[in-house]
Amino acid sequence: MAKSRRSGGLAKMACVQGADRYWRRRVQLPARRQLHASTLCGLPIRPRRMALTATIYKAELQISDMDRHYYATHALTLAQHPSETEARLMARLLAFALYADDRLEFGKGLSDDSEPALLRRAYTQEIELWIELGQPDEARIRKACHRAEQVVVINFAGPVGDIWWDKTAGSLRRFDNLTVLEVPAEAIATMVDIVERSSRWQCLIQDGEMQLINEDAVVVVTPHVRMGRYLVEA
């Protein structure tokens, strides 16, 4: 009888020990390995976040500007920030065509608001031309007018641009080095429809009218001058 009880106790002990070994082998050790893999010197390793990258567009612009007597071909690389719309991207391309120059360059983009959409520097690195797109506030325009010889603001949003102008026109009249242009939203929309990641454009400018020509369409743009002067000296 005693032997039977002893045998039963040993069996129970063996069962418990077996369960304990199973627990350590199948549960505890994998958990420790996983914890070790997720730490470095006792510090947790954070998973890397995927960075959003810019979309690159290539454009060749063959410019014949008879108003400014400027004739040149520019091979442009436009980096589209993840938050930049295609309409703004095309507005940048159009702005470059309007004021093309060997020293005209694109700013750092939406990731850095310390620079405009486009700018032209003198050889002494002073800013000769500062080009803003959209509807900047009065404080930003004031800052630009103090930093640059000439400032151009190009609206391209249709009724939104009209509302912006109605609200800010009065406060902008005091800046004698400021030009504000309105570009038809329909022209920008047409450019968006036909643009490709790699494109070639002919740009003809005469008497304040621009024709942007590629193999798919001809986009006619006549900027409306809200204030200032259309022509900016190169």
Looking at every residue in the chain, the average pLDDT score rounds to: 85
Burial of 60 (0-12, 13-18, 19+ CB in 10 A): middle
Query: What is the per-residue pLDDT across 35-69, written as a single tens digit (0 to 9) for each?
Result: 444 445 555 555 555 557 889 999 999 999 999 99
Q: Which residues of 136-168 are buried (b: 16+ CB within 10 A; e: fewer)?
A: beeeebbebbeebebbbbbbbbeeebeebbeeb
Place of tokens 């570009």: 183
Q: In this structure, are residues 212 and 223 in contact, taking their beta carbons and an 8 Å threshold?
A: no
Q: What is the mean pLDDT of residues 97-101?
A: 97
3-state secondary structure of 133: strand
3-state secondary structure of 157: coil
Q: What is the mean pLDDT of residues 208-234?
A: 88
Q: What is the mean pLDDT of residues 17-45?
A: 53
| CA 214 to chain CA mean position, Å | 24
Query: What is the per-residue pLDDT across 100-147, written as a single tens digit (0 to 9) for each?
Result: 999 999 998 777 788 999 999 999 999 999 999 999 999 999 999 999
Predicted local distance difference test score (pLDDT) of residue 54? 87
- Measured over the CA atoms of residue 168, residue 169, residue 173 and residue 177, the dihedral's sign is positive
Place of tokens 């504000």: 180
The model's pTM is 0.77
Residue 8 vs residue 125, higher pLDDT: 125
Q: Which helix (H) or strand (E) covers residue 62, if one does?
A: strand 55-65
Question: Cα separation of 187 and 80, whole Å?
Answer: 19
Specify the DSSP class assigned to residue 107.
Answer: -
